[in-house]
Chain A
Amino acid sequence: METFIKWAFKSFQRNLAYRLEYFVSIFNALLYIFIFTSVWKALFPETGTRFGMSRQLMINYAVFVTLIKTTLVKSRDLIGERVRSGEIALDLIKPFPLPLMTLADAIGSVIFQIFSRSIPLILVSVLIFHITSPAGMDSFFFLSYLLAFLIFNSILFIFGVASFYITENFPLWLLNSAGISLLSGSIIPLEILPVVVRKIALFTPYPYIFYIPTMKLLRNEYPIDYAILRQVLCLCITYGIGLAMYQAGKRRLQIQGG
């Protein structure tokens, strides 16, 4: 446990190392919020609802989903990069399992994002988009957010470990990004998607990452207990797949370089 906590702490420290990256990512998130709120303002009437959602709810959705996304999303494929460079060898010789290493790394990174990026983004959102405290900010939301983080990390682990089999996993990484963009609700809430796409989405892990925690945050009446059960199931499946791929992949791994 000590190693796990230390690893997470080092990951937190590493995130502090680059100032430019920090400011650019805040600016980037603000840009995303501005773009999506502008789109929803143009598409939704000032009064009344479309797809059962009001304009203000859509604006709130755009702000909060971007906040959640900012804290969770990592642009780096840690395992894939290390497999391609051969540095994975140095991870595998340590008496600390790779799945725990990547989880600790992700926790350090998320804690950094929450404290360093979310706070300035929330302040700006309150001032510019008149966001008020969301109705569903309770322990269920935090549980849902935690599960979303674990599911997201399990998905990244699956795509990372895929590089044990095919080395160049970039196409899969792109596929994952497309899945996140379309099916996770990170851009468009599931209500607005065509019924068929929505049904397909619910059979993938993506809506359980961004859509469900955001809807819980915005709508207190959201059936969260059922959604959390589905998140737990999704986590078990993705974690199981990742672990099985990792165990089998170790035998297939070909480490690059002399």
Chain B
Amino acid sequence: MVSENDLLIEVKDLRKEFKVLKKNPGLAGALRSLFSRNYQIIEAIKDISFSIHQGELVGYVGPNGAGKSTTIKILCGILFPTSGIIKVAGFTPSIDRRKFAMKLGVMFGQRTQLWWDLPVSESFDLLKSIYKIEINAYRKNLEFFNDIFGLSEFWGQPVRRLSLGQRVRADLAAALIHDPNVLLLDEPTIGLDVLARSRFRELIKMVNREKKTTILLTSHDLGDIEMIVHRLILIDKGAVKYDGTLKKFLKDYGGQKNLLINFSSPPRIVRLPAGAEILNLKDNFLEIKIDTAHISYHDLLKVLPKWGNVIDIQLESDSLETILSDLYKK
């Protein structure tokens, strides 16, 4: 059970506007804009509210331009909100930024906080001073992260010589070395290959389990979300569209499933029930898309023997990617 005392991130009626230059088209427009500049207000975040409790692992998803990264930057305290209330670990990030920084770990997938030209060890040595980490705690954490991230493999190498996978592991350890209460991950697996991505997902889950770190993750790789998080916040056009468990989301929105049926001889389809649609029929194989809002599996299974002798049935559910891509299109 979670209590109000466990509340770690609280976002209420968050709004963020950007003033951007409106470019006039063509050469004449470009020349005109030298002397007369028109600005327009872009509403990156319209109205976002959510709260996250201690130890939660939350996926924050949405299409490009939905406002995910803007929210992360506001939660870090590096962007100022236009209006709304934001509390993270008891601090208002944009106001108490330096004090709050001690409680926060951040990783931006395409950027590194490590010193590019120096060995990995030097960056960690500097982080130890920046975050004023007590020597025993530093050694203990380093040992922990070395065990799970394998830092010793590349500890003495300059960051510019690391592979992307190694760099991401080092960056993740760097974001966690001071034992932050909150870890914000913005597209952390971008550019990683399948193996490195899978390892990264395991590491995140392990950190959440072992250190009880609260993690908010944004990723366009929905595999990350499916494999890592328990709770999903879906935003679109700067507003929250869904906030709840991943399981419930898949159940509520993933209504369409495909059935792959193998008959002993070509099936004779007498009457197709409402909510079922034939996707493919070849020899003994039949692929049907079913909408569970209109027909249950039970009813469909009762119909199948009338079409022929069923040998095998396979069920393919909509992936999170398919569900979200359908939702984004709406």
Known: A94-B101, A95-B131, A254-B18. A10 touches B78 (CB 8 A): no
The residue of chain A having its C-beta at the shortest distance from the C-beta of B105 within the complex is: A93
Query: How many residue-residue contacts, CB under 8 A, span A and B?
Result: 77
Identify the stretch in B111-119, B248-256, B301-309 within 8 Å (CB) of chain A at 4 or more residues.
B111-119
Q: Inside 8 A of A10's CB, which chain B residues have their CB?
A: 115, 118, 122, 126
**How many Å from the CB of A24 to the closest CB on chain B?**
17
The residue of chain B having its C-beta at the shortest distance from the C-beta of A97 within the complex is: B98
B110 in the interface, Cβ–Cβ < 8 Å? yes
Q: Inside 8 A of B106's CB, which chain A residues have their CB?
A: 89-90, 93
B80 in the interface, Cβ–Cβ < 8 Å? yes
User: Which B residues between 224 and 247 are near A, CB-CB below 8 angstroms?
Assistant: none
Partner of B118, one of A17, A90, A253: A17
Q: Inside 8 A of B118's CB, which chain A residues have their CB?
A: 10, 13-14, 17
Number of residues in B with C-beta < 8 Å to the partner? 34
A interface footprint on B86-128 (CB within 8 Å = 1, 0 otherwise): 0000000000011101101010101111010110001001100
Are A17 and B158 touching (Cβ within 8 A)?
Answer: yes
Q: Inside 8 A of A96's CB, which chain B residues have their CB?
A: 98, 130
- Determine the distance from Cα of A87 to Cα of B129 in the docked complex, in whole angstroms: 20
Interface residues on A, range: 20 to 34
Are B129 and A2 touching (Cβ within 8 A)?
Answer: yes
Q: Inside 8 A of B78's CB, which chain A residues have their CB?
A: 89, 92-93, 253, 255
Q: Inside 8 A of B112's CB, which chain A residues have their CB?
A: 90
B residues whose Cβ falls under 8 Å from a Cβ of A: 18, 64, 68-69, 73, 76-80, 97-99, 101-102, 104, 106, 108, 110-113, 115, 117-118, 122, 125-126, 129-131, 158, 186-187
Q: Inside 8 A of A18's CB, which chain B residues have their CB?
A: 117
Q: Inside 8 A of B129's CB, which chain A residues have their CB?
A: 2-3, 6
B interface footprint on A216-258 (CB within 8 Å = 1, 0 otherwise): 0000000000000000000000000000000000110111011
A7 in the interface, Cβ–Cβ < 8 Å? yes
Q: Inside 8 A of A14's CB, which chain B residues have their CB?
A: 115, 117-118
- Determine the distance from Cα of A35 to Cα of B113 in the docked complex, in whole angstroms: 41
5 further interface pairs, Cβ-Cβ under 8 Å (given A89-B76, A95-B99):
A13-B122, A87-B111, A90-B112, A95-B98, A95-B101
